[in-house]
Amino acid sequence: MKLYFLLLLPILMQTMVQQPSYTPEQARHIINETANYINLVNESGYLIFYPSLSEAYAYMNNATKFCNSSPNLAVSY
């Protein structure tokens, strides 16, 4: 599995279980919380290996751009 998926999984699972549908504001909140989590992992001194988070950051940048340009499409599933 890709590293960014593993990083996003806890937040995505929590969101999907708690709320079956969500608004653009909630989507932005999810993206911001996920970005904060990736930054936390990146800054952690407890890592026994140092993963390349470039894919995770690229994925988050794409998600942020998409959510900002088409907020209603970002929450359709």
Determine the angle formed by the axes of helices 24-43 and 3-18, rounding to 10 degrees: 140
| Domain interval for residue 70 | 3-74
- C-beta contacts of 7-13 below 8 A and 24+ residues apart: 7/34, 7/37, 7/38, 7/41, 7/53, 7/56, 8/34, 8/37, 8/56, 8/59, 10/37, 11/37
The predicted-structure confidence for 7-30, as pLDDT tens digits, reads as follows 665 666 555 545 556 677 888 888
Could you tell me the two tokens for 35? 């970005």
Residue with tokens 């904060």: 36
- The 10s digit of each residue's pLDDT in 39-60 is 888 887 666 676 678 888 888 8
Predicted model pTM: 0.57
Output the six-digit token pair for 55: 């894919």
**Amino acid making up residue 65:** K
Number of domains comprising the chain: 1
